[in-house]
Amino acid sequence: MKGFVSLVGAGPGDPDLITVKALKAIQTADVIVYDRLSAPELLEHAKPDSQHIYVGKAKGCKQMSQKDINRLLVTLAQQPRRIVRLKGGDPFVFGRGGEEMMSLREASIEYEVIPGITAASGCAASCGIPLTHREVARAVTLLTAHGSDGKLPEQWHALVRHDHTLVIYMGLSKLATITQTLVQQGQSPDMPIAVISQGSTPQQQTVIGTLNNVAQRVSDAELPSPALIMIGESVLFAEHLEQVSSECTHQVA
């Protein structure tokens, strides 16, 4: 008899933003495989005898590859136990949950996917930035700055729109290139942009500017990763807009 794997979204950083179903999975797990972006406080809800395995990824640090993580989950599930793969945000939004799911399928291992609040929603709520607003943002695009080839997308012209919000994950190290390219492709250099570091946590910092000046502001503020980039007129709704860098004090309901 094989085990059962739950691919669990831990939310954007605030441990209180985890779902009830996700919390129940953590409480009943025999093994928890967790990453760097899942709130460490969540492990306090685990059974005293549960096993915890860290597989976090950080730039410039030795880390377990995604293929190794996939193999680990399959190996752990060869025994009849409940396994939680705890991932920051949502497993299916730049969380590589799809790759882990396919590995489990190929090994004929039962699994479930428990969604979590993704960083775009969590950071937007914590800073008072609506992802959509019928006057200025009729759509939202979620984009990762780190594809499988490590390159930025080539079709930047498709992202140059004035009626939607562009949210870029994992783009802090490429911020200057991102802003310069968008302007070169026709976006206004005065387009508002927010860079949100460690969103929804007490350590959150937000730098707000325009495509023309935000890279220098972020450099001056020395924002740490992880950080989310939000571009669009909806950024003008942000709380503390008058401050270049500040902790957002807005509480997420």
What CATH number did the domain enclosing 146 receive? 3.30.950.10
Same structural domain for residues 102 and 13?
yes
Which of 55, 79, 114 represents a domain boundary (last residue)? 114
Q: Residue 151: its pLDDT value, please?
A: 67
Q: Is the pLDDT of residue 152 over 80?
A: no
Query: How many structural domains does the chain have?
Result: 2
Q: Is 253 inside any structural domain?
A: no
* Same-domain pairing of 74 and 144: no
- Residues 233 and 134 occupy one common structural domain: yes
Domain hosting residue 44, numbered range: 4-114
129 occurs within a structural domain: yes
Write out the chain in H/E/C secondary structure: CCCEEEEEECECCCHHHCCHHHHHHHHHCCEEEECCCCCHHHHHHCCCCCEEEECCCCCCCCCCCHHHHHHHHHHHCCCCCEEEEEECECCCCCCCHHHHHHHHHHCCCEEEEECCCCHHHHHHHHHCCCCCECCCECEEEEEECCCCCCCCCCCHHHHCCCCEEEEEECCHHHHHHHHHHHHHCCCCCCCEEEEEECCCCCCCEEEEEECCCHHHHHHHHCCCCCEEEEECHHHHHCCCCCCCEECCCCCCC
107 domain residue, yes or no: yes
For 193-247, the pLDDT digits (tens) are 999 999 999 999 999 999 999 999 999 999 999 999 999 999 999 965 544 334 4
In a shared domain, residues 99 and 25? yes
Query: Exactly one of 30, 35, 87, 90 is catalytic; which is it?
Result: 35
Candidates 2, 21, 57, 174; catalytic one: 57
For a pLDDT cut of 70, what percent of the chain falls above it?
88
End of a domain among 65, 87, 114?
Answer: 114
Respond yes or no: is residue 87 known to be catalytic. Answer: no
Query: What's residue 57's pLDDT?
Result: 72
- What's 21's domain CATH number? 3.40.1010.10
Active site residue 62: no
- Digit-coded pLDDT (tens) for 2-19: 999 999 999 999 999 999
Task: Name the average pLDDT for the chain.
Answer: 90
Model-level pTM? 0.89
- Domain presence at residue 57: yes
pLDDT tens for 157-206 read 677 777 889 999 999 999 999 999 999 988 999 999 999 999 999 999 99
